[in-house]
Structure 1
């Protein structure tokens, strides 16, 4: 009986016929075209994402399985991409990747976004939204949710704002507080709508088992807090964040969860602790800050998440800059060591700025000059797709502002005023609180130069912003400017106008 001819295998990349002695599973031109495929993720065709195992992993909303299916895709030939190479793309070890591929879904939003962008997963296949990318309406639902995740009807992360809660905020004296509380409470309402987690319920009323769905929504709160804080400051928002963190911590101490959920939970609690710490700094409640940061660092190590640890160390450096500059310097150095090998230019900019300001407080001009040069050099390298969300504020304005503060510490108000003037004349649409603070530093610098009229005009021009802001740091700085300019020796028409306007504002 005649045998039917054996079909020639085809290259999965281009469809061309392979030679009989080809043992790689890909034709020579395709291998040549992607010689660097092990050094970075390859650019794949749209059909790549339709492969059965990969589509199933996306449907299950499990990025670890997505990565495993990505590695083993026929597109790469007969040999799967090695774990060591893919782990290098992701900035983790081979052992960590092995655990992630074989564990329940990860929920840390920073990692989900970073890895999805790195692999170039089309947004329509994702179950979370990328920055500046709305969540697609046709996202596939989870076909088989993990056993430890209760099946709930997910609600919106932030419900629509009532029109009067936002539009009247700038017209009424108490509107800003209402708007800030709305941002925080709207985020909580989004979580409550899922039926998965009531962060404000008494711990005794909370479910006894924590699943990944609850942790995922708890993690999403941090972004809500950051946005509201950047817009209006931390005064009342601080109490909300502390309350949420306390309830979630108490619940976690009494509930049961798997090892994988525990890692995600510790990462979420560390992130919330860092955010609560920052809010206490802006609300001028610094005695409450350090315990949150120590908790964030310890939990980040339990979660094997160095990114959260670096954030905590960077904030410790900020916290101790004025009263313990030597310790501030060591915290920034520890953050640089912990981020070695994966830090982006923007993160390195921030850490070198922290060291520069500590050196300035120590009156070490050479150390300051060395670190500010490094910070400027890293900043000039530009932003990176791997930038962490917590460094969104590291803009040119912030670099100028922190350098200006260092010049004030070095008794160089002239140089500081030059930098603060640039900031004061360039308002930020998103970082309004920081813009106001540096505008007040401009008034402080010109006052220290002896120009009380310029200081008064600057402070008077910034006073309306205080009506839209709930930052105790800004309130304290305004009070200090008023105290300085209110001295009889500084009485001029400009200073009297500011003092009168400020006092009238305070009496309201």
Structure 2
């Protein structure tokens, strides 16, 4: 027998040692039946492990993990690893040899148990921060004062997004805006989605549930990036990803089960693309995506997705086609009858209330607002869908304020909108900023020029940060009104000068 080294610590093994471990390492691993060991960084460079990670198949990753030389000459038994994961040996065998897992909660839980580095995964772990390769912020794009570099400690991702993949920002892009677009793209990269943005993208011949999971997780990542960076920076990204995934669905083959799930996932992606277009003030681009979402939802027989699409369509057209907006909200109420939660029903009544206000139907507006208040008083529900989490007292007051503006009752609008700024909702910053800008507009319509200018001046720096063209356009309208010579005051001139300086940067 020849000398060998311990694969765990590198120490020399005695000639008669046939366990594959030195005595100290053998003793240290006696408790391995209870939990996975802490492995060195080089563990994940082992070729079988690296290839399994590249294949995006956690079952194969687990098998390569079990057979790693770090554990000794004998692979870890399936029964031991199954015990760590909380499943049976037979279940682990199916996981290792079956199709890839698509349930994100299980993927994340097992990856954390095995301590797989986040930078090597093809999905985002819960509460995982976005990262940015330091090289992305070089070349003149310094980080804004007070911003932390969003880098995963000790990790360097292999799928970094470079600046040329970002949508064009025009001549007025600031360093902060460049940083934000990098952060948004890096967040998508952490979820493994950046190859959808590269040229060319190969269309798979067959689509499985792993592709459905990709589309679903992409929607989640877009929502998170939208909250951090704003729709202006993400709209083109969402549209491009939608185009790529739609091509997959059109050209590849898949089973009936996968087809239904894929239609629902693509409908969700269409809704997200439409919302980003709405918030980026590219409203004409939004409706085709919502029409597509409704069609896909009906093909998949998924009423929840159909209701989401109808709810967004009602929002999109409430100013230009208030009558049709009413019908969309009514259709959503009808489709969701029997399963709608109070928050969802509240939102649909708010959609109808605002549409009635645009139609100058004060009684219809009051009736729908009363229904919305009654539903909101019933509280949240465990079945609430993610897209209704913004529905709260502040949102109700905001819609009430906008409706009073449409009814040309600015004094009531000021009361409703002021209640939002007096009791802000920290979790819904963009809505808070939007309604603050609309409060400035209401104060102007009420005739209080100085108050309108003061509010606009206070909110100007935040508007520049959230990257919502919808909000920026309303503030631009306030600027135009306050710049009119008859309205000129010291405060209004201060706002106009500050606004002009900000947009010229």
The answer, yes or no, to whether TM exceeds 0.5 is: yes
**C-alpha distance in structure 1 between counterparts of 2:200 and 2:392, whole Å:** 40
Compared with structure 1, are the counterparts of its residues 202 and 136 closer, same or farther at alpha carbon in structure 2 (3 Å cutoff)? Answer: closer
- Partner secondary structure for residue 266 of structure 2: helix
Q: Which runs of 5+ in 1 are unaligned?
A: 1-48, 62-103, 110-125, 142-152
Residues in 2 aligned to 1:495 and 1:57: alpha-carbon distance in whole angstroms = 68
CA gap of 1:352–1:105, structure 2 versus 1, over 3 A, is farther
Q: Is contact 1:320-1:328 (8 Å) kept?
A: yes
Measured at CA, do residues 169 and 216 of structure 1 come closer, stay the same or move farther in structure 2, by a change above 3 Å? farther
Deviations 1:162-201 (A, max 9, x none): 38769934669734433442344234323438xxx94235
1:399-454 deviation line (CA, Å, top 9, x unaligned): 11111111111111111101111222344433222111100111011111100000
Question: Contact 1:184 / 1:224 at 8 angstroms: preserved in 2?
Answer: no
Map 1:224-373 to 2 at 5 A: 224-373=221-370
1: distance between equivalents of 2:265 and 2:244?
13
Q: Distance in 1 between matches of 2:268 and 2:92?
A: 27
Partner of 1:127: 106
Q: Is the 8 A contact 1:245 1:273 kept in 2?
A: yes
Match of 1:410 in 2: 407
Q: Distance in 1 between matches of 2:101 and 2:337?
A: 24
Q: What is aligned with 1:185?
A: 185
Q: What CA distance in whole angstroms lies between the structure 2 residues aligned with 1:349 and 1:478?
A: 28
**Counterpart residue number, 2:66:** none
Question: For residues 457 and 56 of structure 1, do their structure 2 counterparts lie closer, same or farther at Cα, with a shift above 3 Å needed?
Answer: same
Compared CA separation, residues 182 and 507, structure 1 to 2 (3 A): closer
**1: CA distance, partners of 2:107 / 2:333:** 31
Q: CA deviation at 1:59?
A: 7.7
Q: 2:253 aligns to what SS in structure 1?
A: coil
8 A contact 1:106–1:264 mirrored in 2: no
Give the aligned length: 384
User: By how many angstroms is 1:135 displaced?
Assistant: 7.5
1:460 matches 2:457: yes
Partner Cα distance (2:414, 2:110) in 1:
44
Tell me if the contact between 1:203 and 1:247 (Cα under 8 Å) persists in the aligned partners: no
Q: Whole-Å Cα distance in 2 between the matches of residues 301 and 280 of structure 1? A: 23
2:122 pairs with 155, 163, 186, which one?
155
Pairs within 5 Å for 1:377-392: 377-392=374-389
Tell me the residue number matched to 2:174.
Answer: 174
Aligned to 2:418: 421
TM-score of the pair, normalised by structure 2: 0.69
Check whether the contact 2:318–2:355 (CA below 8 A) recurs between aligned residues.
yes
Q: Deviations over 1:220-265 (max 9, x none)?
A: 1112222232344211210000010011111221111111111111
Partner of 1:468, secondary structure, is helix
Q: Does 1:481 align with 2:451?
A: no
Deviations 1:348-402 (A, max 9, x none): 1100000101111111111111111111111111111111011122122211111
Q: Determine the structure 2 residue equivalent to 1:430.
A: 427
Q: 1:499 to 1:188 in 2, by over 3 A?
A: closer
Q: Are 1:504 and 2:501 counterparts? A: yes
After superposition, the C-alpha distances for 1:266-307 in whole angstroms (9 at most, x for unaligned) are 111100000000111111111111100010011111222111
Whole-Å Cα distance in 2 between the matches of residues 505 and 58 of structure 1?
A: 60
3-state SS, counterpart of residue 501 of structure 2 = helix
Q: Once the two structures are superposed, what CA deviation does each residue of 1:49-82 show, in whole Å capped at 9, x if it has no partner?
A: 98979x9499859xxxxxxxxxxxxxxxxxxxxx
Q: Deviations over 1:325-367 (max 9, x none)?
A: 1100000000001111111111011000001011111111111
**TM-score for both structures, normalised by structure 1:** 0.69
| CA distance in 2 between partners of 1:503 and 1:218 (Å) | 41
Determine whether 1:137 maps to 2:112: yes
Shift of 1:106: 10
What is the alpha-carbon distance in structure 2 between the residues aligned to residue 491 and residue 108 of structure 1?
Answer: 59
Do 1:241 and 1:276's aligned partners in 2 also have CA atoms closer than 8 Å? yes
Contact 2:184 2:226 in 1 (8 A): no
SS in 1 for 2:338: coil
Structure 1 pair 208–190 and aligned structure 2 pair: CA distance change class (3 A):
farther
Q: How far apart, CA to CA, are the structure 2 residues paired with 1:108 and 1:351? A: 31
User: What's the CA shift for 1:496?
Assistant: 1.1
The 1:439/1:107 distance shift into structure 2, 3 A limit, reads same
CA distance in 1, matches of 2:102, 2:397: 36
Give the direction of change, closer, same or farther, for the CA distance of 1:499–1:171 in structure 2 (3 Å limit): farther
CA distance in structure 2 between the partners assigned to 1:469 and 1:410 by the alignment = 29
Distance 1:140 1:192 in 2: 18
Name the CA distance, whole Å, in 2 between partners of 1:159 and 1:458.
33
C-alpha separation between the residues in 1 aligned to 2:276 and 2:493?
34
| Distance across 1 between alignment mates of 2:242 and 2:207 | 15
CA contact (8 A) 1:310 1:339 kept: yes
Distance in 2 (CA, whole Å) between partners of 1:465 and 1:154 is: 35
